Structure 1
């Protein structure tokens, strides 16, 4: 396997000093002492719960070539010492980006950024050597880690950028320096920190400030804050703006939509061309994510036919709409796992998909958890889900979290099967009620912990 950096290149990038480092090449970079790739550099960053400096010896014993540590925090052989390990990781990321000749894409948005990133990755992988962010490594340490891991020979790079507050996207974009910046949409996510959807849009638009000269912005047009993004792009000097969505006038317009429980189809209009898009996953929002990937691929030189073939295998990610089937083929339990995140836009999209879902031989069951970080508007936004929940056809409705009290009140006691403050309080009740033949959807913010119920369902219904 080709190495990422020589030790000398790391020292040049970080200005660090090597303390008895015996290896001469780094093949991988990790912040987890338990998950070390070949010829690994372990970076001892300090997180919210753990300090990597406490695991340096473990990493070296587990085979790391060296550990990047902050001055005064860890002593002994095998260290590369820098003033601050996180800044050292950023310096490596800067060096990785500086040497790269890849087409680089940055993706942000209130909803769908991870799924869109994965769709773009699939399109690019059909055309050349591709490097993409894993999981949701999209914050102040995840983005530099993903950038630092990018091989020099990469032809296409895709990086996800997330935020919880203003001024967080800007430094990430300035680090990644994308040629193409994608904003999937603007919705009421982390509303508590921004106060308004316009504030969220302005924060998403920070991605334009890292866009390379001559770069292109790719924007979902299906939200009221589009003009905020267009104005911000103009202020940032972005000359090339491409739109996609379901509305008339989009550069990449989605029409003739057909969606069922396990697939979706649409026609995509681009200029004078018409493209037949077929996905093995349901939902209008999934079609939009896929069309974003088509647009990005086209800008990067990937022909639409290549993109369409790649996207035929596009599916939802774990916790983001993944469909799981357990039990006998004639009467399975069908679980839609949306446990990773939730806001009003993603809740609406997920409930639309669940409306089309048929129970194989039982009931339709909804398990919904709080949408977090909505601030003073939280109760009203939770209550606003009422019509979509009723319209989904759910026969059993379980609600989890204090925010869901507003939805419970809006629905009325006759419609709510059970409401509990925590996942732990309701998990056994849900498990005791489910049966083969049921169609279940679980949706909530990650902090609610609904993934625990997903795992319990897996354990109970997947069989020996």
Structure 2
């Protein structure tokens, strides 16, 4: 981060400094990450109060603190009204002091994938920071921005939310030069109440947009008409998987392989053949979004192509695992919602052999959760999937609707049944999916163990 004195931090946060002034080069919010000489900000959440860790921080030679309480340690400290707000204020100041171009991403699905693809491309052209993992909330975004130094050319920031107001806050801290709303789908409906509520919440990203900036719009997600009034004095780039009236970026010659996807990408400066190490149509869309981001920064198509190919595979997101010859496991257990479930079905039906979808519940869908699970059952019925196994309170609605479904009451019985099918079939693809709360990765782990045992037996 950019070095700051405690006096300057007190000024930025409207706080009061007690003790001597120091120069700070590192800010932490987790005592496990404390290094000698750092500043520790004691955050307070609904279920925790980091002020109780101040003694631990002192033992690790923390140099100073930002607190909401008069703690009287033997080191300098700054008292502020709200430590979480103070963190955002410091991050916002750091962002304004750098010349880095900030790209901000929000949307219902694919934020992390677009972030990884975009960062991979931009790193071919200059020093780049990006959101670590999916730390995209009111704490994660400021911590990402604090990584910025004068030598950074780009910052790729993921903005997430589970209720209204959160993206407006992080967007205003980030002050993005280029923004993307990747898509709008049925996700976090408990917090947003409706699809329109999701759309309004994601459109909060426009509130922090700098003048004469660029907006990237997905024409396959039909909410642009609602956002037109919010997009002022901005350049707009449009993308869609298939060519549409306003598409600046679109695809042709799409091919889905066991280990990835290939297509021809059409852009305002020509077309180029692209290979992705990812499965699924949604990742084609994500690649178009990342390419539009990069094009807005004048990155050449050849660097875009190399950056997309070099993007690291994100664990547990349609991650293809070859267990045995002709036996494929697709781990998509990172999370689940209606859109990503439909995408998973489309991926699975293009895979070889006997096709099984193993699913847990789609969480946070609000009062219409049953209807959305039934919708997935109907979607699967018109697909080439052979079998669906489900577990969870709501996922039973999927297997009730699907013509060849089976519901389980616990993971142990599900895993045992699945292992038997896996052993019997000579050619099979199994896709496992569910929301984070369902912990479907346990099923994946069981299958991998069974495959290793089987390999050792023979």
TM over 0.5: yes
Aligned partner of 1:253 among 221, 246, 250 = 250
Aligned residue in 1 for 2:408: 419
Q: CA RMSD in A?
A: 2.7
Aligned residue in 2 for 1:338: 332
Q: 1:208 to 1:116 in 2, by over 3 A?
A: same
Q: How does 1:23-34 map to 2 (within 5 A)?
A: 24-27=23-26, 29-34=27-32
Aligned partner of 1:408 among 373, 379, 399 = 399
C-alpha deviation, 1:99, in angstroms: 0.2
Answering whether residue 289 of structure 2 is matched by residue 300 of structure 1, we say no
Q: 1:427 to 1:41 in 2, by over 3 A?
A: farther
Q: How does 1:54-73 map to 2 (within 5 A)?
A: 54-72=52-70
In structure 2, C-alpha distance between the alignment counterparts of 1:380 and 1:36, rounded to whole Å = 48
Aligned residue in 1 for 2:210: 212
Q: How does 1:41-190 map to 2 (within 5 A)?
A: 41-72=39-70, 74-78=71-75, 80-83=77-80, 84-190=82-188
Provide, for residues 27-60 of structure 1, a one-character-per-residue CA deviation record: whole Å limited to 9, x for no partner.
3x33222234675433221234432222222233
Provide, for residues 309-335 of structure 1, a one-character-per-residue CA deviation record: whole Å limited to 9, x for no partner.
111122441232223344x5x46x633
For the 8 Å contact 1:4–1:151, the answer to whether it is kept is no
C-alpha deviation, 1:215, in angstroms: 0.7
Give 5+ residue unaligned stretches, structure 1. Answer: none
Q: 1:398 to 1:216 in 2, by over 3 A?
A: same
Aligned residue in 2 for 1:440: 430
Q: 1:192 to 1:3 in 2, by over 3 A?
A: closer
Q: 1:398 to 1:4 in 2, by over 3 A?
A: farther
Aligned residue in 2 for 1:366: 357
For the 8 Å contact 1:115–1:289, the answer to whether it is kept is yes
Classify the secondary structure of the residue corresponding to 1:384: helix
Q: How does 1:251-330 map to 2 (within 5 A)?
A: 251-271=248-268, 273-326=270-323, 330=325
For the 8 Å contact 2:211–2:234, the answer to whether it is kept is no
Q: 1:97 to 1:396 in 2, by over 3 A?
A: same
For the 8 Å contact 1:7–1:26, the answer to whether it is kept is no
In structure 1, C-alpha distance between the alignment counterparts of 2:305 and 2:173, rounded to whole Å = 31
C-alpha deviation, 1:453, in angstroms: 3.6
Answering whether residue 440 of structure 2 is matched by residue 450 of structure 1, we say yes
Moved more, 3-12 or 101-110: 3-12
In structure 1, C-alpha distance between the alignment counterparts of 2:54 and 2:430, rounded to whole Å = 43
Answering whether residue 238 of structure 2 is matched by residue 240 of structure 1, we say no
Provide, for residues 331-350 of structure 1, a one-character-per-residue CA deviation record: whole Å limited to 9, x for no partner.
6x633222222111111112
In structure 1, C-alpha distance between the alignment counterparts of 2:445 and 2:3, rounded to whole Å = 36
Give 5+ residue unaligned stretches, structure 2. Answer: none
C-alpha deviation, 1:15, in angstroms: 4.2
In structure 2, C-alpha distance between the alignment counterparts of 1:36 and 1:438, rounded to whole Å = 48
In structure 1, C-alpha distance between the alignment counterparts of 2:317 and 2:55, rounded to whole Å = 36
Aligned residue in 2 for 1:386: 377
Return the TM-score normalized by structure 2.
Answer: 0.88
Provide, for residues 276-296 of structure 1, a one-character-per-residue CA deviation record: whole Å limited to 9, x for no partner.
111122221111111111111
C-alpha deviation, 1:266, in angstroms: 1.2
In structure 2, C-alpha distance between the alignment counterparts of 1:121 and 1:39, rounded to whole Å = 30
In structure 2, C-alpha distance between the alignment counterparts of 1:224 and 1:15, rounded to whole Å = 43
C-alpha deviation, 1:181, in angstroms: 0.7
Classify the secondary structure of the residue corresponding to 1:385: helix
In structure 2, C-alpha distance between the alignment counterparts of 1:284 and 1:117, rounded to whole Å = 17
C-alpha deviation, 1:76, in angstroms: 1.4
Provide, for residues 152-181 of structure 1, a one-character-per-residue CA deviation record: whole Å limited to 9, x for no partner.
321101111111122221111111110001
In structure 2, C-alpha distance between the alignment counterparts of 1:24 and 1:462, rounded to whole Å = 54
In structure 1, C-alpha distance between the alignment counterparts of 2:358 and 2:3, rounded to whole Å = 44
C-alpha deviation, 1:204, in angstroms: 1.1
Q: 1:289 to 1:21 in 2, by over 3 A?
A: farther
Moved more, 245-254 or 208-217: 245-254
Moved more, 83-92 or 105-114: 83-92
Classify the secondary structure of the residue corresponding to 1:365: strand
For the 8 Å contact 2:116–2:312, the answer to whether it is kept is no
